[in-house]
Amino acid sequence: MFSIFLTLFVPFGVFGNPVSLEQRSHSVVGQVGSPVVIDTNGVYIRVSSTSNGGLIAGYTAHENNQSILRLANSSDRGASWHFVGEVYRADSSAHDVDNALPLQLPSGRIVYAYRNHDRSGDLYTYYRITLSYSDDGGASFLYLSTVEQQAATPGIPNGLWEPFLRLAADGSLQCYYSAENNAADQDGYMKRSTDGGVTWSNWIKVSGGDRTSRDGMIGVTNIDNSGNLIAVFENTESGPFSIDYVLSHDDGNSWGERARLYTAHNGANAGAPQVVNVGGTLVTSFMTNEDVAGTGGNGIDGAQMKVVTSTDGGSTWSGTTVTGDARSHWPGLFTLDQNHFLALYTKDGLGAVSQDYQIVN
């Protein structure tokens, strides 16, 4: 009902993340394009839009014992990508940097969140969620702030992982992340910044605290334009990794109503989720080894990327579709328009790719 107004007068996905909504009774996902290479050496890709109609992609490359955070951009909706700049690089034996999340602020500044840990060999010594910024379109980056940090506790994992940035309708910047209590338990958190990411509030809890589960890899999207949001995350509450969600009715300031979104069949794992709103249809992605074995250590890394859809605000999910064939890694999603989204994943033999899919009513 409001789609024409929003399409004409609100830059899609920019300030306050407005979404265009259509009434659909069900949604089937269909392939449109082939994988398009963003970078032959990139992993954990996250894409957001810029005010000039372009896209920016953040990801990590591991080269010559260094971990390198990069930014690429696209002016043709992901049909081609171009390297723009480097955010940060560090020696992999002493540092662990990864989990990029780039976002343009209304001012035009690009902020870029990532995990930024110190380690000595395999032993972590210090954990951080760091924010860098660029005022030249992503060509160069400088340090902006540390969203959260803590020294490692010897013998008990207490890491900070997977920052997810979004702009709230009131203009504040929200940073979601996951924090380990121990090897078996991890919770989801959110901090808010009202000065463009320079300073951060105390955290609120998004999930966890009420059960032993590795809640992680949070992704968030608008269900509508009235402050109703959904956050998806992986968890281990019933053994294997599965996907849960929680809801917010106040634009992310409080969360609850935890429920199951996807359980892999055959006792397999489904993890590393993200979620987007494509014209009123919610699309959740994950990687799973329920049909093919993974190539990575945890069983799901290097298996398949799949998506499921919901046309009732997240209550029910269906239409499981493979959007990244076997040997795909660490998926993400980006909404292109009312009907199209990009699947983002790393594909063995190709590297970091985007691939166009559409919602077929």
Ligand X SMILES: *[C@@H]1O[C@H](CO)[C@@H](O)[C@H](O)[C@H]1NC(C)=O
Interacting residues toward ligand X by CB under 6 A: 50, 52, 54, 64-65, 73, 75, 82, 84, 137
CB of 93 to ligand X, least distance (A): 6
Looking at beta carbons, which residue is closest to ligand X? 54
Q: Which helix (H) or strand (E) holds 343?
A: strand 340-347
> In the complex with ligand X, which residue's Cβ is closer, 71 or 276?
71
Compute the least distance from the CB of residue 219 to ligand X, in Å.
Answer: 24
Sort 181 into a burial class: Cβ within 10 Å, 0-12 / 13-18 / 19+.
Answer: middle
C-alpha to C-alpha distance for 256 and 11, rounded to whole angstroms:
30
CB of 194 to ligand X, least distance (A): 27
Q: Which is nearer to ligand X, 36 or 230 (CB)?
A: 36
Rg over alpha carbons for the chain, rounded to the nearest Å, is: 19
CB of 75 to ligand X, least distance (A): 4
Structure tokens at 308: 């499921």
Residue number with CB closer to ligand X (27 or 50): 50
Written as six digits, the tokens of 17 are: 């993340």
Q: Residue 50 or 285: which CB sits closer to ligand X?
A: 50
CB of 56 vs ligand X, minimal distance in Å: 7
Give the neighbor-by-neighbor strand order of the sheet with 142-151: 95-104, 110-120, 123-134, 142-151
Of residues 93 and 212, the one with the C-beta less far from ligand X: 93
Half-sphere exposure of residue 103: CA atoms within 13 angstroms, side-chain side: 23
Hunting for tokens 């359980």 — which residue is that? 263
| Strands 173-182 and 185-193, bridge-based pairing | antiparallel
CA distance linking residue 296 with residue 348, whole number of Å: 12
Long-range contacts from 72-77, C-beta under 8 angstroms, 24+ separation: 72/38, 72/39, 73/137, 73/138, 74/354, 77/336, 77/340, 77/356
Least CB distance to ligand X at residue 73 (A): 4
Least Å from the CB of residue 173 to ligand X: 21
Closer residue to ligand X in complex, CB, 81/233: 81
The length of the chain in residues reads: 361
Q: What is the dihedral of CA 104, 106, 109, 112, to 10 degrees?
A: -30
- Report the residue number, 78 or 240, with the smaller CB distance to ligand X: 78
- Shortest Cβ 301–ligand X spacing (Å): 22
What span, in angstroms and rounded, lies between the C-alpha atoms of 345 and 325?
10
Contact between 58 and 130 under an 8 Å Cβ cutoff? The reply is no
Q: Which is nearer to ligand X, 82 or 260 (CB)?
A: 82
Give whole-number Cα distances, 218 to 49, 230, 303, in Å: 19, 10, 20
